[in-house]
Amino acid sequence: MYSEDDLVPISALQHILFCERQYALIHIEQVWEENRFTAEGKVLHERVDVEHHESRRLFRQEYGMAVRSLERGLIGKCDLVELYLAPNGGVADAVPVEFKRGRNKEEDVDRVQLCAQAFCLEEMFKVPVAVGQLYYLQEHRRTTVDIDGPLRAKTLQLVERIQQLQSAGTTPPAVYEKRKCDRCSLLELCMPESAGSGGKRVDRFVQSQIRATREECGQ
């Protein structure tokens, strides 16, 4: 069981899966640069992150829902959660829906984030979450994702790796990979000579991330 101070922002999972150095630059050294891809993603989420709900009998849609899991060590916000209600008023099933720019990806970046949301919903509503959905703006359709054993294991490994980097407070050295680096918003700032410049402990920044997430979620 994790303490409130040790919770990992769900958004950090996409950074560490894409590149450990990118994760460390953003979450340890507090470096961030906007590019077209991040700007488009930000605009998309601004449209759906306003907390509100829509409902009909035995079904409710919660937009911008704050979630957390003390067991898994996660905190964040779901773009949309579709709740299927039992006749007694309890929750029978929960389906997280994440909105993304672009198209479906071969990498697990988006699926890992969805799995982390599922962990939180399982703990909050005490129901198993078997599937989630990804909505890609360019495709205008939902893709169903199975929250299965391999995806759960991979997500938990990433959370553990974040905790390790958090404890060490170090930034991995730069290694150029054209496929990743050329579309990274930090390309101009991510230089080998900057690898040792961090020296900052991650704890201070993680706390600020958690506080910002809680404020955004109204906690």
pLDDT tens-digit series, residues 15-58: 999 999 999 999 888 876 554 444 444 545 555 555 656 667 88
Which percentage of the chain shows pLDDT scores above 70? 76
Residue 126, sorted as left (phi over 0), alpha (psi -120 to 50) or beta, turns out to be: left
Where the chain has pLDDT below 50, the residues are 35-41, 43, 192-206
Residue 64, sorted as left (phi over 0), alpha (psi -120 to 50) or beta, turns out to be: left
Domains of the chain: 4-217 (3.90.320)
* CB neighbourhood size of 41 (10 A): 16
Task: Of 201, 200, 193, give the one whose Cα is nearest residue 174.
Answer: 193
Q: pTM, whole model, 2 decimals?
A: 0.77
Longest Cα pair distance anywhere in the chain, in angstroms? 61
Question: What number of H helices and E strands is found in the chain?
Answer: 7, 7
Spatial distance between the Cα atoms of 190 and 184, rounded to a whole number of angstroms: 9
